[in-house]
Every structure is written in structure tokens, then in C-alpha cells.
Chains A and B, each alone.
Chain A
Amino acid sequence: MKHEKTLRAAVGGSAAVAVLSAGLMSAAPAFGEDVVLRMAVPDWPPTRIMKDLFDKNYKAKSGNNVTLEPDFIPWPDYYTRLSGSLTSGEKRYSMAVSDSQWLGAFIEGGYYQKLNDAIDADPELQQIMQDLNPALVDAYSTYPHKSKNYYGFPQMPDVLVAYYRTDVFCDEGEAAAFKAKYDADLPCTPEEMNNADWDMVQKFGEFFGRKKGETLSGKALDDDFYGIAYQAGKGYDFSTMQIASMIWQHGGDIWDETKAPTGKAEGVVNSPEAVKGFEHYLSLLQYMPPVVKTGTMDIFKQDELFREGKVAYMINWIGFAESSIDANTSKVSDKVDFAMAAGLKKADGSIDRTYNIGGQPFVLMTWNDDTTNTEALEFVKWWLSPETQVAFAKAGGQSGLKSVYEDPSYNSFRPWNHAFGTSLNNQKDIWHIPEFFELLVQQQAEFDKAITGQQDAKATLDAIAKFQEELLQETGHIE
């Protein structure tokens, strides 16, 4: 009998709980709908910071319960994983952080949503687009490139900047020796370093290349030391970004997609100016750590060599800067400063710093339902609001909003910020057409032959021009 009573009580109790919870669940819609923004993102600080800020600060205006669920995917796998998900039709993501060059492939595939209607209908979004640096809008948003069709908003704008070692560049003994050798002042402050052109960088390379046992800043070296480093890797775009910049600075050009279908590849890609620019790029490789000879000095390798204290001056993305000043990840954390990346000195004394833009936009998917879409756009507006952008920049990110990065206080957030805003206006981008990867892979392989000393600059650019001319004709980008 006692057992039966206990059983009855238990059954009754659980029934009551079930009724109560059912009541609560059915009452839930009164507080707003649950909306999940599932986003494919590369795994690195700018996206981790975004998730943190969202979880701490975000409240949807609609009253809906909006959660951000990013899939953090390692960079080297990112393109394959994202393209795998999109093309499989699983419709897993409502948003993604996409590299700008993938726009063409994924827009033509029908995955990325055109945002013109949303922008036209929303004054707040229009205001954001007005406030963004135009170079970012062109690179991150437009397809065809520089058209009026918009597809993305900046998540993290990135540029190439110079990282340098203050213990080396600001050492009096080194400065005196440099003066004696080149009759030039060794730059020390960021303002002085901003004036460094490629000739000066060549001198850094020559001057700071030291063998084990020689002295550097008054101390005997326990390992070889190298003057300079920039990207020269075969993977992904890990040489193109620097080489294209060098070619633009010398007055050459890449195949320009905005000039399609009359713009040619042959004669442009391998023009005398382009060859000169590429030769200039190759001439500086001799001053870099020996791994450059293998064609595997990508941005990660450069970053590692710099943090290990093997290099005096390096040009790399701002995205790596945070780890170079963190004592947990860097041996030189207290000896680093930043400046604008070097450029080519022109006849009038000015320095041309045309560079290839980095960073990534957000995109929205075509299959989103109305609620998800509305919430996604609300999220974008929150992200690109001045308060969030300032919080992001303070935590180590960058903002593309003029009102934010032009504010004098912006430069005080992080030591590299002064080099960011001033560099933004000089940014260009390579191609965004669907054949992007074919162009890139062939070009990277040819560049690699030149970097590893198998062929000269002219033969390399001739081979690239020929391939591009044929491919682009075949695909209708060149008449």
C-alpha cells in the first residue's frame, strides 16, 4: 500500500511538473521568438572578440531572443569548409564572414544575398554605407567589382603594416654604425619609420643581416639574425598580396576586372612596369630568413619568425599584431612598434603606398527567412554602430567607419592604430570573379618558381599573362 501511495505521489508530481513546464513553454512566444544566427567564421581574434562582445552586450530591439552561434573554422581549411557547406545544399549558415575575393564565386552560385533592397529601405544602413571608407565598400561589398550591387559589410578591415624591433632600430650604437655606412639616419619612432621607402628597407636588410656570434645592439647573437621579411609563400595568396602591391607601386597593373570585357591580360600583367615591380620584390628576398628560398614563407611563418626574435623589420597583416605584443606568445613583446608599410619613393619625393587590402566582410545567405534576415541586419547595424566598433577596436580589432577611425582617440587604443586609418585610402584589391581561384593558384605557382630561383621575373609574368588571357577569353571576361 505504501509503495502504491509513493508511486501515485510520484506520478502526480511529475504530471504537475509536466503541465507547468508545458504552460511555460507555450507562454514563451510572448517574450519573443528564438532566432539563431548561425555564422561560418574563420577562427582568429577578430571573430572571437565579436562573439564575446555579442554575448556581453547584444539585445535585439525586436524583443526576440537572438543568439549568435559562430562555427569557428581554422583559416587554412576555411574556404574548403565554407564552400563545402554552401554547395552541399545543407543551408546550415544564415551568415558568413567571407574573404572578399570569394564574392564572385558564391554570388554566381546563388548563395550570397544581394543587399541593395535592404539598404534602400533602411536609412540606418544607408548612413553606415556612407560612413564606411569607400575602398572597403568596393572590396568587401560590390560585385561586379566597383558596381552598385552590394553584398557585404565589413567585419574586420585589415591592412599590411610594418612591424619593427625598437631594441634594434633605437639602439644608439646601431644608429651610429648605420649613419657611418649609409650616411642616413636609422629610423626609430613610428613617424620616422613612416618615411622609410624600399631603398631604406633594402638597407635594413643588408645592415641587420648578422651571423651567429656577431653582435646586435651590443649583445652577441646566439643564432643568425635577418633584416627583413615579407610574404613569399606558395599557399593561398601568400605572395600575391605583396607582389601585386609592388607592381601597382611601380605603375604596373594586374588584369583589371572593372575593364572587362575589353581589358586585356597580356601586355598588362607582363608590362615592363610590372616586370620592374616584380624584380624589385625578388631583389629583397636575399635579406630574408632562409626559409624564403623554399617558397613556404607565408604570413604565419613570417609571424612566427618575428615573434621568435629572428627578424628586425617585417610587413604583415594587423591581424597578427596582438600576438606579437603578448608576452605569452612573443619573445619580443616589449620591443615592437608599428608603422605604415614601406612604399616606393616617387620623383616628387612622395611615397606610393598602394597595397592590397585584407580583411573580410559579413554576408547574408539567400535562403534566410524574413525573421532571420531582419535579425541578421539588426546584428550588422549593432556591429557597425560606433559604440560596438570602439569596443572592438579597443579589444584589438579595426573599424572601417570613418567617424570611428578618424577620431583622434582611436590611435590610442592599440599601438598600430595610427598606421591603419592612414593606410586605408591606398588599398586596392585583386579579382572577385568566380574564376578567382584558378587565377590565383596558377599565379602563386608561377611566382613560386621565381621566388625559388627557377625562372626570372619576365618569364614568370609572361606565363601568367598567357594563362590569364586564355582562361579569361574562354570564360568571356575578355572579348
Chain B
Amino acid sequence: MMKVWEVYPLRVAFLSIPAALLISAVAITLLPPSVSFWVSGAVFVFSAFLFVAYAWGRHAGGLLVAPAIALLFIMNIFPLLWSFGLSFFHYRANRLAPPRFAGLHYYEKVLTDPVVWDRLQVTAQLVVLTVSLQMIVGFLLAMLFAKQFPLRRVLLILVLTPMMLSFVAVGAFFRYYYEPTFGLLSQAVRVFTGEPFVLLQSTAGAIAGIVFADAWMWSPFVMLLVLAGLVSVPKYLYEAASIDRISHWRRFWNITFPYVRSLLMLALLFRTIEAFKLFDVVFLLTEGGPGTSTETIAVYVYRVSFQYFKTSESAALAYILLFTVIVLTNLYLYFANQRNRT
């Protein structure tokens, strides 16, 4: 005798989804939460089981990936969607009051909040400065390490070390480095001026301090990517160029640069996204000070979310930021592709 799922395997498996949804909807409306939770859970487990039974032997690949996808969904995508939902409700995570629908209230509030715009400007300033510095330093380092010289490997490891340190270690290190009484920087400057050097006392100084610390940590990352491009340039091109007596400048633009361009763009993309989220170094070095002059949008989101506990507002703000980063990234990819085509 043929079994049901052998006759209508596909239909049974797919029908189980609306059935599961229906049963859980009924359970949630009729039963108390402690019971309906388990009912819904059981129904979904059953429907998952049907899928596995159906796919067994036919879609082994999909089944093998399924646990990873499920984990990703539970740990990552579901909370993401949940917080997206919360951004449309009045809700504070430190209160027991249930969420009330708020529509687009928090999006409107965030977009018209002068504080948010101020923090975005601070962030933009830091992004431009720190990413530019990282690109320049990273590129120069890569040019240096593309050549062979004694102790190159040892130096390369040393140069790469900052990138592997934890953010907090780097923040704490630079806090001491800039400290006017005990710090190395101040001690060094004092040899010449006789006065302790207080870098973080002005807005410009604080920005310089943050940009330097961030660039110190992440220039090696840019270097690593560019270096990969540089070593892939075929030697015969340089040989041909030197036979033709092409200038160094022309050699760089016509041979070297085209090989590293795409990797440079990739480094730019990664670093821009990361710099947009700059939190650790700022929080440890200046806590956003003096005043709020170095408070980045990431620090502000942290304050709204975990100090003020305005959960909905912070969710709305975080989604606007996510949206901004996605738009910027896509714009960038679009232009990068255009240029590659030409």
C-alpha cells in the first residue's frame, strides 16, 4: 500500500504551512500564552518534520544547510524583524507595559530630531577623515611591503598586529597614550615644550585623536587588500615598461593602479561601513566629549537604547541607519560597476 506522503508528498508538505499558521492563530486567540506557545511550537515542528520526510533523499544538500539557515533565522533574522516591528509601537524594554501601536511616529520623531542630525554630521566628519587616512596610509604601506627588503616578514606581522587587537584594548591603550600626565605622547611633547600636551581638550584635538587611533588599527586592513592586488601584477608588464622607458608615474597609473583598483574599492566599502558604526574607540577615548562634539550616531543609538531605554525610538533610528548604509553601499557598487565596464 502506498503511503499518503508518497502519493501527495509535495502537497502534504506545502499544505502543512497554512495549516500550521491557522492552528497557531486559533491557539493564540483562544488559549492562554503559556499553552498556545507550545501548541504553535508543536505544529511548526510537525510541519518541519513533514518537509524533512518529503525532502529526504531528494534534496540532501538543502537539508544539510537547513540547520545553519534555521540558526541564522532564529538568532539573526527573527530579532531583526522583531525590532523592526517594535519601531512601529510605543515600547520600552525596561517597562512591563505591553506595546501600543504608534505607526510612523518614531520615524517622524527621529528624522526631525536636530540631535540626530548633529550626531550624523559628527559621524560623517569622522568617516571622511578616518577612511581617507586609512586609505592613504594603507596604500603607502602596501607599496612599501610589495618590495623585498630585509626583515620584511617580521615587520609585516608587526604592522598587521593592531588589526587583530580587540577594540577595547585599542581604546584603553590610546586613552593612556594621550593621557597628559602619564601618557607617552604628552611625555614626548614635553621634552620640547616643557608643558604637558593635552590633545583631547578641544574638539579638533579629540577628532584627531579618534581618527589617529582608528587609522592605526585599520590601515593594515587596507594594506592587506592592496598588497594582494600589488603582488598579482605580472612582472613582465614592468619589464616591458622599463624597456619602453616609461616614467614611474605612468607605470603606476597604467600598470599598478588598474590591478589594485577593485581591491581598493572593496577596502573603501568595508571601511566606510565600519566607520559609519564607529563606537568603541570613541566611547573609550572621549565618551563623545568634549560636550557632544565627538558623539557619533552609534554612541547616540546606544544611549537611546540602553541608557534611556527608548526601545522603539532606538529601533527606528537603527533602521534608518541601516537603510542609509544599504543605499550608500548600493550607490557605491553601482558606480564601481559603471567604471569597471568603461
The 6 closest A-B pairs by CB, nearest first: A452-B290, A449-B291, A294-B200, A290-B180, A293-B201, A110-B96
Which residues in B have their C-beta under 8 angstroms from that of A455? 291
- Known A80-B306, A83-B306, A437-B308; contact A445-B93, beta-carbon cutoff 8 A: no
Contact B290 A449 (CB under 8 A): yes
Stretch in A101-109, A248-256, A321-329, A330-338 with 4+ CB within 8 Å of B: A101-109
Q: Is the CB of A294 within 8 A of B287?
A: no
B94 sits at the interface (CB 8 A): yes
How many chain A residues sit at the interface, stated as a range, is 35 or more
Q: Give residues of chain B (126-183) contacting chain A, Cβ–Cβ below 8 Å.
A: 175, 178-182
Q: Report the interface size for chain B: residues with CB under 8 A from the other chain.
A: 33
Q: Is B95 an interface residue (CB 8 A)?
A: yes
Contact call A310/B181, Cβ cutoff below 8 A: yes
| A305 and B181 contact, Cβ closer than 8 Å, known pairs A87-B93, A109-B94 | yes
- A445 contacts across to B, CB distance below 8 A: 288-289, 291-292, 295
A215 to B172, CA, bound (A): 33
B286 within 8 A of A: yes
Total inter-chain residue pairs, C-beta < 8 Å: 97
* CA of A445 to CA of B295, assembled, Å: 10
Q: Measured between alpha carbons, how far is A31 from B227 in the docked complex, in Å?
A: 71
Asked whether A134 is an interface residue with its Cβ less than 8 Å from the other chain, the reply is no
A296-B287 in contact (CB<8A) = yes
For residue B290, which residues in chain A have a CB less than 8 angstroms away from its CB? 294-295, 448-449, 451-452, 454
Q: Are A291 and B291 in contact (CB under 8 A)?
A: no
* In the bound complex, CA of A269 to CA of B238 (Å): 72
Q: Which residue of B lies closest to A305 (CB)?
A: B181
Give chain A's interface residues, CB within 8 Å of chain B.
79-80, 83-84, 86-87, 105-106, 108-110, 223-224, 234-235, 289-291, 293-296, 305, 308, 310, 434-435, 437-438, 441, 445-446, 448-449, 451-455
Instruction: Please provide the chain B residues from 174 to 210 with a CB less than 8 Å away from any CB of chain A in the complex.
Output: 175, 178-182, 186, 196, 198-203, 206
Known A291-B198, A449-B291: A438·B308 in contact at CB below 8 Å: yes
**Which residues of B are found within 8 Å of A305, using beta-carbon distances?**
181
Q: Residues of B with Cβ closer than 8 Å to A?
A: 93-96, 175, 178-182, 186, 196, 198-203, 206, 286-293, 295, 303, 306-309
Report the bound CA distance from A448 to B287 in whole Å.
10
Select which of A105, A446, A451 is within 8 A of B94 by beta carbon: A105
B200: min CB distance to chain A, Å: 4
CB contact under 8 A between A234 and B287, given known A106-B94, A290-B198: yes
A83 to B175, CA, bound (A): 27
Q: Which residues of A contact B287 (CB under 8 A)?
A: 234-235, 295-296
B181 and A108: CB pair below 8 A?
Answer: no
Instruction: Determine how close the nearest CB of chain A comes to the CB of B288; give it in whole angstroms.
Output: 7
The verdict on A290 contacting B181 (CB below 8 Å), with A86-B94, A108-B95, A296-B200 known, is yes
Q: How far is the CA of A296 from the CA of B201 in the complex (A)?
A: 10
Q: Do A83 and B181 touch (CB < 8 A)?
A: no
Cβ B288 vs Cβ A234 within 8 A: yes
Q: Give chain A nearest CB distance to B79 CB in angstroms.
A: 12
B304 to chain A, nearest CB (A): 9
Residues of A within 8 A of B293 (CB): 454
Closest Cβ neighbor of B295 among chain A residues? A445
What are the residues of chain B within 8 A of A295 when measuring CB–CB? 200, 286-287, 289-290
